[in-house]
Structures are given as structure tokens and as C-alpha cells.
Amino acid sequence: MKEKISIMSMASISALGSNDQQIWEQYLTEKHNFINKAFDGFESLVSALSDNDWKVVNLLKESAHYKDLDPSVLLAIDVSRKAIAKVSWNNKSFGINIGSSRGATTLFEKYHSEFIHSKNANVSTLSSPTTTLGNISSWVGHDLQSNGPTISHSIACSTALHAVLNGIAWITSGMADRFLVGGCEASNTPFTIAQMKALKIYSNDKSAYPCKTLDFNKKQNTMIVGEGAAVFCLEKGSKKNAIAIIEGIGYATEPLKHNISISTNADCFQKSMAMAMSSVEPETIDVIVMHAPGTIKGDTSEYNAIKLLFKDKTPALTSNKWKIGHTLGASGGLSLELAIRMLQQQQFISIPFLKDQKHPNKIKKILVNAVGFGGNAVSLLLSIN
């Protein structure tokens, strides 16, 4: 990186809650946040926003402009308002890049069902503009009345951290001074869950912890889908009032050998982590917030990459997916949020069902990993002033 980037504020919403105190208190408990949700013809474990949080988010629909928006867009608007309220970006000159893996899933499934059951192949007038991925950042920009570029994208489960990379690129190029970045996902829909189950990666575990993130002895895949959003306000340089500093970035892909898996030793993660740490020694890393979706191959390959890179100096390892599941395009953002909270609180969030888990003596530098289908990896190196 040419210059460090300051994270000036953040906001999120997930099964953990929607305000700083509530979220941290949830992280301090050893309880997971999964519920059984009924869909058309089946039930499934998911992590979901509370009814009260959805009630607040859905108040946005009282605006005539917002009544036809997908829940994913409403989540993005909600957290973006909160993040911007914490900074002094009064002149509205900032860019926005908020992505989603699946986008307007609820509306897409609704409109497609209407089309299939329509005798004359009729669809709603707004079916196209309300289901495009560009709909997310454009509506956030409209809501905040920003004057900068508004960019949306989908890079599967590394979407949110790719948004961070894009914001940094715009800032360091001199094309923007500030960027709002992140990811959102309203993924608890019948077709989404059915697709994940079709991949044979969904959890059928009936134990106290149904998502066995970082349990390398598990005999079955234990991924669980969740919903949520997380955004961050970025500025150039190392600001005194920053909540965290991005001092390294890494990214990599690897040749596709299968549509969903990565290589045995996660070559993409080896490259992305090494790139993010190019200016520091491996032993200075205190914690890695792993992508670790709870699948046998996903967890193990990332761990193999870490062991090859760090050898006998492996940092403390953690993930939040045992608690809130895999929030797809938002997951990297929620992992980044966890890293920032551990830096702020100087407290490591461990995984309760893992025996003899390593705990750091200090928390000054954290790596955050995310990867999308097929090995599209991102790593960020965080520190505090």
C-alpha cells in the first residue's frame, strides 16, 4: 500500500443486533444465534435479524420511494445512515461501494414466481430496476445525497472486502478522498437455502453448536446461512480519531478446478495473506479472523495456508461463523467488524467448543480473510494507533 487508510466509523446489523453495545455483549456470550426458520415445504437453521430490528429497517418502506426496494437494499441504507452519522462528512463528496453476493434475492424470487405462474408471462413494471446489483449503492447514494461515485458488485463471499479494496484504490489514486464501503445480504429465502443445501455443505448437526467452524475433526459440512450488513467509512492516511488502521491489503485468485472449492492448501490465501503482510514480519500478527465457513474443505484449506505461511508461529485463530453463520456477501464485512471490536476492546473472542484454543497476549495487528467461490481471496491487515 502507498499509504495507510483510516477506518473512521462502522455500522452493522445481523443476528447479533444493531448497536455497538448489544453486538459486543453478544460476542461475549458462548451462545450461537441460529434459529429454525420455516420455508415453503421445509425448515432450516439460519441466523436472522431480530423481529425488532426488521421492524425498524422496514420503517424505511414508509417512504414512497423505498416501498418497492429489496430487503438487502434496506439493510444497506440502514447501516449506511448509522455509519455516516458518526463522521463529519458534511460536504457529501464521498464515494460508495456496497456489494452483495446474491443481491435482491427476495424480490427476484417473488417476481420470478409471478412470471412462472402468469398466464401471459407478465411481470411487475419494477421487476428489473429493483433487482439489479447497482440498485444497492445507487439507493444508498440517493438516501445520503452523496456526490461521489456509486458502485455495486458481486464477488461471491469476498464481496464486502473487495469493496474495501475498491475504496482504497479510489482514495490512493487521488480520485476520491473518502469512501463508504461494505456488503449486505438478505439471504434467508427459500431458493437461496435450497441452493446451499444442494451443494451438500449445509449443516445437519443437531449438537449444541451446529456450525463447527475451525473444528478440524468434524465429519460433515456444517455451513449455515445468515443475513446482515456491515459498512465502513474510509479516509486517507492515519487519523488520530480512526477506530482502526488498514496498513496492508492482499488479493489473489487461483485456477478453477471446481465451481465452488479452493485448492487443498488454499494457494489464493497464501498469496493474499503474504501480500497483506509484505511490510511486517509474520510473528507480529496476533490474530487471524478466518473466513472458515464451517465446511470440511473450506476450513481445512485455509488452515493449511496459514500453517504453511506462519509455520510454528501461527497466530490466534477465530471466526464468527459458529455464531452467526455465513452471511455470504456481507460476511467479510462482519469479520472486519469483529476484528475492529477486538482491537478496541483488547479482548479475543474465542470459539467455545474448541479445546486448548490459542489466546493472544496482546492484540495489535489482525489479519482478516475472505474468499469467494472458486478462490477469489482478500486479506486485510488491521492495527490501531
How confident is residue 261, by pLDDT bands cut at 50, 70 and 90? low
Do residues 168 and 3 touch, judged by C-beta distance below 8 A?
Answer: no
Relative orientation angle of helices 71-85 and 134-144, to the nearest 10 degrees: 40
Residue 237 contacts residue 104 (beta carbons within 8 Å): no
Average pLDDT over residues 19-25: 97
Q: Dump pLDDT digits (tens) for 343-367.
A: 999 999 999 999 999 999 999 999 9
The CA-based dihedral angle spanning residues 267, 272, 273, 274, taken in that order and rounded to the nearest 10 degrees: 90
Domains, the chain, ordered by start: 5-383 (3.40.47.10)
Question: Within 13 Å of residue 4, how many CA atoms lie on the same side as its CB?
Answer: 18
151 forms beta bridges with 97
**Sorting pLDDT into bands at 50, 70 and 90, what band is 259?**
low
Confidence check: pLDDT of 258 > 70: no
CA gap 315, 366 in Å, rounded? 9
Poorest-confidence range of 22-31, 120-129, 289-298?
A: 120-129
Non-local CB neighbours of 237 within 8 Å, separated by 6+ positions: 3, 4, 5, 6
- C-alpha pair distances (Å), 259 with each of 116, 318, 371, 374: 28, 26, 13, 6
Mean pLDDT confidence for 314-336: 98
Mean pLDDT in residue range 83-108: 95
> For 371-382, what is the mean pLDDT?
92
The Cα–Cα gap between 171 and 347 comes to 31
Average pLDDT, the chain: 95
Going 292 to 293 to 299 to 301, the CA torsion angle's sign is negative
- What pLDDT band is residue 331 in, cutting at 50, 70 and 90? very high
In this prediction, residues 215-243 reach a mean pLDDT of: 97
- What percent of the chain is predicted at pLDDT more than 70? 98
Q: Tens of pLDDT along 97-128?
A: 999 999 999 999 999 999 999 888 889 999 99
Strand partners, 370: 378
Please tell me the distance from the alpha carbon of residue 287 to that of residue 326, in angstroms, as a whole number.
20
> Is the predicted pLDDT of residue 260 greater than 60, yes or no?
no
Give the sign of the dihedral formed by CA 248, CA 253, CA 259, CA 263: negative
Q: What is the pLDDT of residues 34-79, one digit of tens each?
A: 999 999 889 999 999 999 999 999 999 999 899 999 999 999 999 9
